[in-house]
Every structure is written in C-alpha cells, then in structure tokens.
Structure 1
Amino acid sequence: MQRLAVWRNPVHFLAFGFGSGLAPRAPGTFGTLAAIPLYLLMTQLPLWGYVLVLLVSAGAGVYLCGRTARDMGVHDHPGIVWDEFVGFWITMLLVPAHWYWILTGFVLFRLFDIWKPWPIRVVDQRVEGGFGIMLDDVLAGIYALLVLQLLVYLF
C-alpha cells in the first residue's frame, strides 16, 4: 500500500490513526500518543458520553481495521493503529486526567499491548479480521485499566 493512499482513503486514514500509524518505527506507540489529545477531549464528556464514544469507536474499529487489512492484504499491518486508540481510551476510563496518570496509563497499555499476556496472545494469533485486530487491544486496555485503577486507588 502506498503511503499516499492512507491520506486519500478516509477508512485507511482513520485506521492509520489520522496518519500516526505511518511512523517508520513503533507505529503502535505513535498511535497511542495520537490518542491522547482525543482522550483529553473525551474527558470533558459525562461518563455516559465517554462510554458511548468508546463503544462507537470500538464498533467502528472492527470495520475500519478489517477493511484496511483486507485492502492491504495483511492481517494486522503495524500501521493500523485505531485499535491502539480504543485500547488506550479503555485504559483511561474513570482515571483522573492528570499528566502522571496519562503517562502511567500510556506505559501500562503499551506494556500489555507488546507483552500480550494470556489470553491476549491467543486472540492475536487466532482471531481473524477486524474483530481480531480490535480484540487484542481491547483486552490489553482492560488489563491496563485494572492495574491503573488499582494504582489510582492506592495513590
């Protein structure tokens, strides 16, 4: 897939995290970084609004990531980072929007996304299509959310 095609196709543009997935190294990390400004906007919403945006984004992500992967002929191209956006937003659910919690959530999500503890690795290897692309990051986000909530409670 040509890099230029990402900018021309709105589905690919979103799946590539507004272009953040085009980073030559660590596109998942850059995708997660690109999710932070949107997270800060989402924190202005009431809880139900945050959850609604999260659910719509996850549902749309199944289509966006699946369609882009099919168009590229690659199951889970590293540049597809919409799943990182959603995973990070899950991580940050009900977390105070202070820089230290954002940094902690970022690190925790990236660790779980890269490490892929059970069952994330199984999902990543066995679940196909857009649902599979999204599901492993949703699970990583849930793991990170649980650890982050514990840290918020303790500190």
Structure 2
Amino acid sequence: MTDHPKQVPAEFVPPSVWCNPWHFIAFGFGSGTLPKAPGTWGSLVALPFVPLWQMLPDWGYWLMLGVTMLFGFWLCGKVAEDLRVHDHEGIVWDEMVGMWITLWLVPEGWGWLLLGFLMFRLFDIVKPWPIRWIDRHVHGGVGIMLDDVLAGVFAWLAMQGVIWAWANGLGAGLGF
C-alpha cells in the first residue's frame, strides 16, 4: 500500500459499502457515507450501543473493548486495502471504538453520553501529541485504529477527572 493516496474524500462512497458486509461495518453501518463530518456521524452511531455495553460487568465491557479494537485492526486494514487507500474518511469503525473507550466506567445518563461525545470529538479533532504523530506515521489497520483508540483513552482520562470532580462536589452545577 505504498502508492495509494493518504485519504479519499468521504464524498466518494464506494458502492461496496452497500453490498459488502465488512465495508458496511467499517463505514459505521452506513454513517461514514454522509458527506459532512463522517467521523462525527460514526461517533454518534456508537452512542446507542453504550447502554448495552453498560449492562455488562466492568470486565465484560473491557473485554468487548479489546475484541472490538482487535477486530478493528483487521477490519479497517482490510477495507482500506480493498479500497486501495490508506484511510478513507468514511471508515468510522475506529471512531466507534474510540467512543466506547471514552465511555467505559462512566455513569449512565444522557448528560454523560453527551459530555463523552464532546470530549472524544475534541481529542479526535485536535489530535494532541502523540496522537497526531501516530496518525501521520503508523499505517494499515493499526494506524487507522490507533489514533482513535488514543483519542478515546485521552477522553476517558478527562471523563474520569470530571466524574471524580462531580463525585467530590466540585461539579454540582453540571446537572448530570
């Protein structure tokens, strides 16, 4: 995969998204085909899964994160290779896993989901070090996934700080 463009605009929707199940999953069940901000749409598609994951014991949610991340290394690499691109903007499985990481061990409720969504999008868009470096230098399925996994970890740490502050009365006005 050395002679391929780094990204293909999300406006180009490969027809395979609608007939190849791996492409459909990688494109966030079709959400990655939306022309504006596909990563944001993929992150939103991840949210309805969170109440299901929160029904699992903490270790079960953790196990799900490991499985979806490992699956994502393979899935995103396969779909990028099939499309002959490094990282099509429409591949949003990585954003979905990043959202799920962000919301592990977060209290239930729409306010927490919204805050987690905003935190993850912030870290995914800004890409502080080392996320930006990884995004530019690590390729294949691991590279596609890893920057969003790290954005999820950064957002998770931020969320845990907010939860700690809230639990200790420092965020009483947040209304969560």
Q: TM-score, normalised by structure 1?
A: 0.97
Alignment-derived partner of residue 139 in structure 2: 128
Q: 1:5 aligns with which of 8, 13, 16?
A: 16
Alpha-carbon shift at residue 74 of structure 1 (Å): 1.3
Residue aligning to 2:123: 112
Helix, strand or coil: the match of 1:19?
helix
Give yes or no for the alignment of 1:80 onto 2:73.
no
Q: CA–CA distance in 2 between the matches of 1:75 and 1:32?
A: 20
Task: Provide the secondary structure at the position in 1 that maps to 2:133.
Answer: helix
Equivalent of 2:45, from 34, 40, 44? 34
Query: How far apart are the structure 1 equivalents of 2:145 and 2:71?
Result: 10
Aligned to 2:149: 138
SS at match of 2:28: coil
In 2, Cα distance between the equivalents of 1:95 and 1:9? 34
Count of residues in correspondence between the two structures: 155
- Aligned residue among 97, 114, 119 for 2:108: 97
Preserved CA contact (<8 Å) 2:39 2:89: yes
Judging changes above 3 Å, is the alpha-carbon distance between structure 1 residues 69 and 99 closer, same or farther for their aligned structure 2 residues?
A: same
Say which one has the larger Rg: 2
Contact (CA 8 Å) 2:27, 2:91: kept in 1 or not? Answer: yes
What is the match of residue 61 of structure 1? 72
Give the Cα separation in 1 of the matches to 2:14 and 2:136.
26
Query: What percentage of aligned pairs have identical amino acids?
Result: 57
CA contact (8 A) 2:13 2:33 kept: no
Structure 2 gaps, min length 5: 1-11, 167-176
Superposed CA deviations along residues 30-58 of structure 1, whole A, max 9, x for unmatched, are 00000001112111111111111111000
Q: Which residue does the alignment assign to 2:173?
A: none
1:2 positional shift: 4.9
